[in-house]
Amino acid sequence: MDNVVIDDDYDHKDDTIEYILENVLMPDDGSCEFGNLRELYNCKLVHSCTCTSQIKCCMDKESCCHGGRFKYHHSIVGKELVLKHEIDLPAIIECSDLCGCSAEHCLNRCVQIGPRKQLEIFNSPLYRSLGLRTMIDIPAGAFVCEYAGELLTLAEARRRLKLNDREEVMNYILCLNEYTNVSEAGSSKKLLVQSTIVDPSRRGNIGRYLNHSCQPNCDLKAVRVDSPVPKIGIFALRDIAAYEELCFHYGGDDPPTTVPSNAKPCLCSSSMCTGVMPNTTI
Ligand SMILES: C[S@@+](CC[C@H](N)C(=O)[O-])C[C@H]1O[C@@H](n2cnc3c(N)ncnc32)[C@H](O)[C@@H]1O
């Protein structure tokens, strides 16, 4: 996205962390797995739309090949894009520089613009560590920020997870799985199509400060702009009031049903709390 300047100037409270705006590759470890990851990371999506409308550009499935996953939310001062409510939300692919539409009128460019304003990293009394909160109301479906960090291979993620466990430090590694539904012998089952593993512990953005809740106010969506490697977008699951802490479920859409013996106690204190943090085994 050569022409887009991401307006993201949040400070981190910790200057040992390299602040990044978007996912970056982990250091080259010489493995084949890293070679494959680098190849994927360096590929471009060439699926571009030919929309040219000045109003509601790229909003409809009919008019835009990307399907227009966003709409304007009108009850907030100024226009804000929010995700359309769809039961089974298909892949989110935003328009890019390759598209025929203009960035000014396009309603399918949201995550690429950068995180929302008025977020604050704060000392969370609930979690007894840092957290992220909003200083203003956020409407349901609105984009909060990316969960950006180093893109890891599976082997490197497993190595770092073990190290985090051994050293008893906080874990920031997140694996986002994307599935597709396939029909087989009259029944439908989920097939894993891509896993994206991100670690913002050393190089990351403000997304790294969201804590886990068993009853979260945000969730994660894979969002592609011009790369087959998705951005991990954090979106509001419901209307969120000013000063609420932002959190998502670390177990993703399919929280594990078994509790591992080394599970850490969960501090979310929600009425749905299971008492333990979701398993981070990958
Ligand atoms: C992605 S970081 C979140 C930000 C972190 N609180 C900080 O100070 O940087 C994840 C770590 O926060 C802590 N954490 C997040 N949610 C928690 C929860 N529900 N209960 C207990 N600890 C939690 C755990 O130590 C976890 O490894």
pLDDT tens digits for range 118-147: 999 999 999 999 999 999 999 999 999 999
Return d(Cα 129, Cα 250) in angstroms, integer. 17
Please, what is the average pLDDT of the chain?
89
Q: Which helix (H) or strand (E) holds 161?
A: helix 154-167
Whether this prediction's pTM lies above 0.90 is answered by yes
Residue whose CB lies within 8 A of the most ligand 1 atoms, among 269, 277, 280, for a mutation test? 277
CB of 277 within 6 A of ligand 1: the answer is: yes
Determine if ligand 1 sits within 6 Å of the CB of residue 133: no
Q: How much is the pLDDT for 42?
A: 95
Which run of H or of E encompasses 156? helix 154-167
**Higher confidence at residue 169 or residue 12?**
169
**What does the pLDDT read at residue 112?**
94
Q: Is the ipTM of this complex over 0.90?
A: yes
pLDDT at 34: 98
pLDDT tier for residue 5 given thresholds of 50, 70 and 90: very low
* Residue 13 confidence (pLDDT) above 70: no
The number of C-alpha atoms within 13 Å of 61 and in the hemisphere containing its C-beta is: 6
Please report, for residues 96, 115, 223, the alpha-carbon distance to residue 50 in angstroms, rounded to integers and kept in the order given: 11, 27, 20
Determine the residue of 10, 127, 246 to mutate for testing ligand 1's pocket, defined as the one with the most ligand atoms within 8 A of the Cβ atom: 127
Residue 52's pLDDT is what? Answer: 87
Res 4: pLDDT: 42
* 195 has a pLDDT exceeding 50: yes
Cα–ligand 1 centroid distance for 207 (angstroms): 12
Closest-lying ligand 1 atom to the alpha carbon of residue 264: 21
Provide the percentage of residues in the chain whose pLDDT is more than 70: 91
pLDDT, tens only, 243-260: 999 999 999 876 566 767
Q: Is residue 127 within 6 Å of ligand 1 at its C-beta?
A: yes
In order of their start, the domains of the chain are 10-42+115-247 (2.170.270.10), 44-109 (no CATH)
The band of 241, judged by pLDDT with boundaries at 50, 70 and 90, is very high
Beta strands in the chain (DSSP E): 18-19, 24-25, 70-73, 80-83, 92-93, 119-124, 129-134, 143-146, 150-151, 174-184, 187-199, 203-204, 211-212, 218-224, 231-236, 245-248
Predicted confidence at residue 256, as pLDDT, reads 61
pLDDT score at 215: 96
Q: What is the pLDDT of residues 43-102, one digit of tens each?
A: 999 889 999 888 788 988 778 898 888 988 876 556 789 998 776 677 899 999 999 999
* 170 C-beta closer than 6 A to ligand 1: yes
Cβ(143) to ligand 1 under 6 A?
no
Q: Which residues contact 101 (CB under 8 A, 6 or more apart)?
A: 49, 51, 52, 53, 57, 58, 64, 95, 108
